[in-house]
Structure 1
Amino acid sequence: MPSASYEPLTPLSFLERTAKVMPNEIAVIEKDKSWTWADFFNRVNRLSNGLKGLGISNGDHVAIISRNFSPMLEAHYGIPMTGAAIVAINYRLSADEVSTIVNLSEAKVLLVDMGVADRIDKEKLPNVEHYILINNGVISYQEAPKANIEGMDYETLLEHASDEYKRLHLDDENTPIAIDYTSGTTGMPKGCIYSHRSVYLHVLANVIEHKVDAYSVNLWTLPMFHCNGWCWTWTTTATGATNVCMPTPDAKEISTLIQQHNVTHMAGAPIVFHRLSRYMNENSISSFPNKLIIDVAAAPPPKGMLLDMEKRGGVIHHAYGLTETYGPFTICEWQPAWDSLSEVERINLKMRQGVPDITAGYVRVVNENDEDVPADGETVGEIIMRGNDVIQGYYKSPEETAKAFKNGWFYSGDGGVMHPGGYIEVKDRFKDVIITGGENVISVEVENILYEHPAVYEAVCYGKPDEEWGELVKALVHLKPGHEVTERELIVFCKSRLSNYKCPKEIDFGEIPRTSAGKVQKYKLRQQS
Structure 2
Amino acid sequence: MSFYDEMKIDRANHSPLSPIRFLARAAHYFGDRISLIHGDLRWTWKETDTRCRRLASALTRLGIGPGDTVSVMAPNCPAIFEAQFGVPMMGAVINNLNVRIEPHTLAYILNHNQAKVLFVDSEISSTVTDALNAMERPPIIIDIVDPLSPGGDRIGDLTFEDLIDSGDPDYISHQPADELQPLSLNYTSGTTGDPKGVVYDHRNAYIESLGNLVSWGVSGHPHVLWAVPIFHANGWCYLWAMAGLGATNVMVRKPSGPLMLDLIDRHHVTHICGAPIIAQMMAHAPGASERRYDRPIRMLTAGAPPTSVEFIALEDMGIQLDQGYGLTEVWGPAILREPQAEWSELEPEQRARLKMRQGIPNLVLDKMIVAVPGTCDPVPRDGETLGEVLFSGNIVMRGYLRDPIATVKAFEGGYFHSGDLAVWHPDGSIELKDRAKDIIISGGENISSVELENAIAEIPDVLGVAVIGVQDNRWGERPWAFVEIAEGSAHDEKSILEQCRSRLVSFKLPKGVTFGPIPRTPTGKVQKFVLRESLGKQ
With the shorter chain as reference, the TM-score category is 0.7 to 0.9
For residues 409 and 232 of structure 1, the distance between their equivalents in structure 2, rounded to whole angstroms, comes to 24
Corresponding residue for residue 78 of structure 1: 86
Corresponding residue for residue 116 of structure 1: 124
Give the 3 Å change call, closer, same or farther, for CA 505–292 of structure 1 in structure 2: farther
The answer to whether the 8 Å contact 1:270/1:301 transfers is yes
The answer to whether the 8 Å contact 1:301/1:351 transfers is yes
The answer to whether the 8 Å contact 1:476/1:510 transfers is no
- 1:283-362 to 2 correspondences below 5 Å: 285-288=290-293, 290-362=295-367
Give the 3 Å change call, closer, same or farther, for CA 321–162 of structure 1 in structure 2: same
Give the 3 Å change call, closer, same or farther, for CA 433–187 of structure 1 in structure 2: farther
Corresponding residue for residue 164 of structure 2: 158
The answer to whether the 8 Å contact 1:185/1:433 transfers is no
SS at match of 1:64: strand
Paired amino acid for 2:313? D
Corresponding residue for residue 169 of structure 1: 175
The structural deviation recorded for 1:76 is: 0.1
Give the 3 Å change call, closer, same or farther, for CA 38–380 of structure 1 in structure 2: same
For residues 203 and 421 of structure 2, the distance between their equivalents in structure 1, rounded to whole angstroms, comes to 29
Give the 3 Å change call, closer, same or farther, for CA 202–110 of structure 1 in structure 2: same
For residues 111 and 526 of structure 2, the distance between their equivalents in structure 1, rounded to whole angstroms, comes to 23
Paired amino acid for 1:269? A
Give the 3 Å change call, closer, same or farther, for CA 510–261 of structure 1 in structure 2: closer
For residues 288 and 248 of structure 1, the distance between their equivalents in structure 2, rounded to whole angstroms, comes to 23
For residues 107 and 472 of structure 1, the distance between their equivalents in structure 2, rounded to whole angstroms, comes to 36
Corresponding residue for residue 215 of structure 1: 221
Q: Which runs of 5+ in 1 are unaligned?
A: 435-461, 479-494, 512-529
Give the 3 Å change call, closer, same or farther, for CA 386–476 of structure 1 in structure 2: same
- 1:66-215 to 2 correspondences below 5 Å: 66-120=74-128, 121=130, 122-137=132-147, 144-145=151-152, 149-184=155-190, 186-215=192-221
Q: Percent identity?
A: 35
The structural deviation recorded for 1:335 is: 3.0
SS at match of 1:116: helix
For residues 401 and 174 of structure 1, the distance between their equivalents in structure 2, rounded to whole angstroms, comes to 17
The answer to whether the 8 Å contact 2:466/2:526 transfers is no
Paired amino acid for 2:65? S
For residues 339 and 239 of structure 2, the distance between their equivalents in structure 1, rounded to whole angstroms, comes to 25
Corresponding residue for residue 430 of structure 1: 436
The structural deviation recorded for 1:189 is: 0.7
The answer to whether the 8 Å contact 2:279/2:306 transfers is no
Corresponding residue for residue 30 of structure 1: 38
For residues 294 and 53 of structure 2, the distance between their equivalents in structure 1, rounded to whole angstroms, comes to 36
- 1:367-378 to 2 correspondences below 5 Å: 367-368=372-373, 369-378=375-384
For residues 134 and 355 of structure 2, the distance between their equivalents in structure 1, rounded to whole angstroms, comes to 46
Alignment match of 2:238 (pick from 227, 232, 237)? 232
For residues 107 and 126 of structure 1, the distance between their equivalents in structure 2, rounded to whole angstroms, comes to 12
For residues 249 and 169 of structure 1, the distance between their equivalents in structure 2, rounded to whole angstroms, comes to 35
For residues 324 and 292 of structure 1, the distance between their equivalents in structure 2, rounded to whole angstroms, comes to 28
Q: What RMSD over aligned residues (CA atoms) do the two structures have, in Å?
A: 2.8
2:258 is equivalent to residue 252 of structure 1:
yes
For residues 405 and 439 of structure 2, the distance between their equivalents in structure 1, rounded to whole angstroms, comes to 20
* CA deviation profile, 1:323-372 (whole Å, cap 9, x unmatched): 00011111113333433344343222211111110112211011144311
For residues 222 and 537 of structure 2, the distance between their equivalents in structure 1, rounded to whole angstroms, comes to 53
Corresponding residue for residue 502 of structure 2: none
Give the 3 Å change call, closer, same or farther, for CA 374–136 of structure 1 in structure 2: same
The answer to whether the 8 Å contact 2:312/2:349 transfers is no
* CA deviation profile, 1:378-417 (whole Å, cap 9, x unmatched): 0001110101121121011001112211122001000001
2:530 is equivalent to residue 503 of structure 1:
yes
The answer to whether the 8 Å contact 2:145/2:159 transfers is yes
The answer to whether the 8 Å contact 2:123/2:153 transfers is no
Corresponding residue for residue 24 of structure 2: 16
2:389 is equivalent to residue 379 of structure 1:
no
Q: Which runs of 5+ in 2 are unaligned?
A: 441-448, 473-518, 520-524
The structural deviation recorded for 1:475 is: 8.1
Residue range with higher mean Cα deviation, 289-298 or 373-382 = 289-298
* CA deviation profile, 1:417-447 (whole Å, cap 9, x unmatched): 110121111111103399xxxxxxxxxxxxx
For residues 91 and 55 of structure 1, the distance between their equivalents in structure 2, rounded to whole angstroms, comes to 26
SS at match of 1:124: coil
TM normalised by structure 2 equals 0.80
For residues 91 and 433 of structure 1, the distance between their equivalents in structure 2, rounded to whole angstroms, comes to 29
Corresponding residue for residue 482 of structure 2: none
Corresponding residue for residue 393 of structure 1: 399
For residues 191 and 89 of structure 1, the distance between their equivalents in structure 2, rounded to whole angstroms, comes to 11
For residues 508 and 393 of structure 1, the distance between their equivalents in structure 2, rounded to whole angstroms, comes to 35
SS at match of 1:18: helix
- 1:380-529 to 2 correspondences below 5 Å: 380-432=386-438, 465=453, 467=457, 471-472=465-466, 503-504=530-531, 507-508=534-535
The answer to whether the 8 Å contact 1:414/1:429 transfers is yes
Paired amino acid for 1:504? L
Alignment match of 2:51 (pick from 33, 43, 47)? 43
TM normalised by structure 1 equals 0.81
SS at match of 2:437: coil
Give the 3 Å change call, closer, same or farther, for CA 349–156 of structure 1 in structure 2: same
SS at match of 1:58: coil
The structural deviation recorded for 1:506 is: 8.6
Give the 3 Å change call, closer, same or farther, for CA 257–306 of structure 1 in structure 2: same
SS at match of 2:531: coil
Paired amino acid for 2:62? L
Corresponding residue for residue 508 of structure 2: none
Paired amino acid for 1:80? P
The answer to whether the 8 Å contact 1:473/1:504 transfers is no
Give the 3 Å change call, closer, same or farther, for CA 397–469 of structure 1 in structure 2: farther
For residues 79 and 100 of structure 1, the distance between their equivalents in structure 2, rounded to whole angstroms, comes to 22
SS at match of 2:229: coil
SS at match of 1:200: helix
The structural deviation recorded for 1:510 is: 10
For residues 171 and 243 of structure 2, the distance between their equivalents in structure 1, rounded to whole angstroms, comes to 17
